[in-house]
Amino acid sequence: MQPNLRPNLRVVGGGDAISQRRDFDDLARLTLPRILVERVEAREIPPLLAFAAGEIPALAAASGAVSRVAERNRDSVWVFRRGAAPVGIYAMLHLSKDGLERLLLGELDTTQPDPRALVASGEAPSAIYKWAVVAPGMASAGICAISRMLQADRYATANLFARPTTMGGERIMASLGFGRVRSGLPDLHRYVRVANRVGHSMAAA
């Protein structure tokens, strides 16, 4: 049976604080209004998804899938807070080599990800799929913190993949350096990490 491949990614807002064209990796150097960015604990997942479902309705029924992904890799789901209140959420799939192959073939069910397609906490992923992002207004400053986190050695060479569901989301992705990539999916976009670019590799050598 063909898996449900409806994309979960929707960048809501996200352009207010990072409106200028910048590579995703460059966001790590930005200083923006303070947003607290924390890993999501298991007990927080249901209420956070209820919050995020206001922008991505499908998340209302995704608690089980999100919990399994977060249990497999604790760097998968992050919450943005201003004070104690959640103002955004950033979820990603840390793909294994097999998971990346499935994604490129159009065979990865992103609504119910197979744990075998994901690496465990502490392992270096082959790629990272941006699963769901809600970052309205100044909450988009939290994306800069995610960019900084993804500079860690085990993440620095993991290219990013995403599928937009709105024209606005696609424009934001393009402004961050994402481009369409040939795959089994018509709308898959890829961001090639700075560490993987030929010019950077030659300079480093």
Global pTM value? 0.84
Buried b vs exposed e over 115-145: b needs ≥16 C-beta within 10 Å? Answer: eebbbeeeeebbbbbbbbbbbbebbbbbbbb
Dist. CA 67–CA 73, nearest whole Å: 10
Backbone angles phi, psi at 89, to 5 degrees: -145, 145
Binned average pLDDT, 10 residues per bin, the chain of 205 residues: 39 45 85 81 92 85 94 95 89 97 96 95 97 82 91 96 78 88 94 85 43
User: What's the pLDDT at 1?
Assistant: 34
Using alpha carbons, select from 40, 39, 82 the residue that is nearest to residue 63. Answer: 40
Interhelix angle 45-52/63-72, nearest 10 degrees: 120
User: What's the pLDDT at 102?
Assistant: 97
Residue 183: how many CB atoms within 10 A of its CB? 15
